[in-house]
Amino acid sequence: MRIVALAGGIGGARFLRGLLAAVGPQDEITVIGNTGDDIHLYGLKVCPDLDTVMYTLGGGINEEQGWGRTDETWSIKAEMKEYGVGPEWFGLGDRDFATHLVRSQMLTAGYSLSQVTEALCVRWNPGVRLLPMSDDRVETHVRITDEQGTRAVHFQEYWVRLHAAVDAEAIIPVGADTAKPAPGVLEALAEADVILFPPSNPVVSIGTILAVPGIREAVAAAPAPVVGLSPIIGGAPVRGMADKVLAAVGVEATAAAVALNYGSSLIDGWLVDSADQDAVAAVEAAGIACRAVPLLMTDVEATAGMARAALALAEQVRT
Ligand code: GDP
Ligand code: CA
């Protein structure tokens, strides 16, 4: 079976680990990763979501944090601080720096981001084919109003420095409108047997991937069933501040509202948590098959159960 998953960072990566545990060795998984979180720092290109997927599946992730490298040290950051060079709010550890150095060196030499990602994955051997959504530069910005007035800040500044404490007024994936899907992305969607939306952020992870012209259309046109899993349980994100970016696009932070926002033109099936059993009827009324199952990724086995439930629902909606 050829499975294609769209993925952000932590939510996507943890789900993929369960998916890998649920499928057989003959199944092929292609991951289309969000690059809208990418940021340029110290002349280096940092791709937080691609790296979270790569490190998580490759066994190099800091498990407690959910991002960054295991057994990390922070000498470079401390030295930068001595020079008074920031940003202090963004955590790049010494081991992580090596990834960004290799990536940036290869990009400068003329390789594309997909080629670089493939090269980095030779080391991490994530067990999936990891494709960036695009080789073109896309950076999500967030419009906010604070004491400095109304302005757009980089998504990382909004999320990491400001902890989404001010309201997001608009989410702008800068560059997405002219970006092209990376090589292999449209082909993978067209040839997929199943397409999955892990419980990644619907706005700044999945939404950004879908904002690359051609990708939303390819998902909608794919013959494969498309099944998503809710990142919202009991009216709140399980982790993080997804409610703040959902509000910016006028979507309530509920499992049903997120499904309806994707809509039946995009998804055929939707899983909500057992706690959101009440949401099932509203989602089904919108023409999306819906089941309530446990959706907490407490460990790999629980997550594999979620993946099996998503694949089972895909079989049920396959026409
Ligand atoms: P990010 O790029 O690191 O923010 O990660 P993603 O966009 O891939 O996923 C973030 C989303 O994962 C958040 O909105 C969380 O609500 C969701 N999430 C995290 N842990 C769980 C979990 O155990 N179960 C479910 N259903 N969602 C989760
Ligand atoms: Ca992210």
205, 271, 293: residue to mutate for ligand 1 pocket, most atoms within 8 A of CB: 205
Q: How many A from CA of 319 to the centre of ligand 2?
A: 33
Distance of alpha carbon 202 from alpha carbon 231, whole angstroms: 8
Given a cut of 80, is residue 166 above it in pLDDT? yes
Residues touching ligand 1 (Cβ under 6 Å) are 7-12, 49, 52, 199-201, 205, 229-231, 233, 237-240, 242, 295-297
Token pair of 277 as six digits = 């059993």
pLDDT of residue 162: 96
Per-residue pLDDT tens over the stretch 231-247 = 999 999 999 999 999 99
Ligand positioned closest to the Cα atom of 242: 1
Asked if 251 and 272 touch (Cβ cutoff 8 Å), the reply is: no
- What is the 95 CA–ligand 2 centroid distance (Å)? 20
Q: What is the pLDDT of residues 266-293, one digit of tens each?
A: 999 999 999 999 999 999 999 999 999 9
Q: What are phi and psi of 211, to 5 degrees?
A: -80, -15
Task: Kindly state the percentage of the chain with pLDDT values over 70.
Answer: 100
* Average confidence score pLDDT of the chain: 97
Atom of ligand 1 nearest to the CA of 273: 26
pLDDT of 179 over the 80 cut: yes
- The DSSP letter of residue 167 is P
CB atoms inside a 10 Å sphere around CB 26 = 6
CB-facing half-sphere around the CA of 228: CA atoms within 13 A: 28
Nearest residue (by CA) to ligand 1, atom 21, is 238
Dump pLDDT digits (tens) for 58-97.
999 999 999 999 999 999 999 999 999 999 999 999 999 9
Whether pTM > 0.85 for this model: the answer is yes
Q: Which of 163, 238, 274 to mutate to test the pocket of ligand 1 (most atoms within 8 A of CB)?
A: 238
Ligand 1 centre distance from Cα of residue 237 (Å) = 7
The closest alpha carbon to 54, from 132, 140, 155, 151, belongs to: 132
Helix (H, G, I), strand (E, B) or coil at 126: coil
In 148-302, beta strands by DSSP E? 149-154, 170-174, 194-197, 226-229, 232-233, 236-237, 269-273, 289-293
Round to whole Å and give the CA distance between 250 and 212: 21
**What number does the ligand 1 atom closest to the CA of 13 have?**
8
The position carrying tokens 């997550």 is 303
Region of residue 42 (phi > 0: left; psi between -120 and 50: alpha; otherwise: beta): left
Q: Is the pLDDT of residue 319 over 90?
A: no
Average pLDDT over residues 141-160: 96
Taking the centre of ligand 1 as the mean of its atom positions, its distance from the CA of residue 134, in whole angstroms, is 22
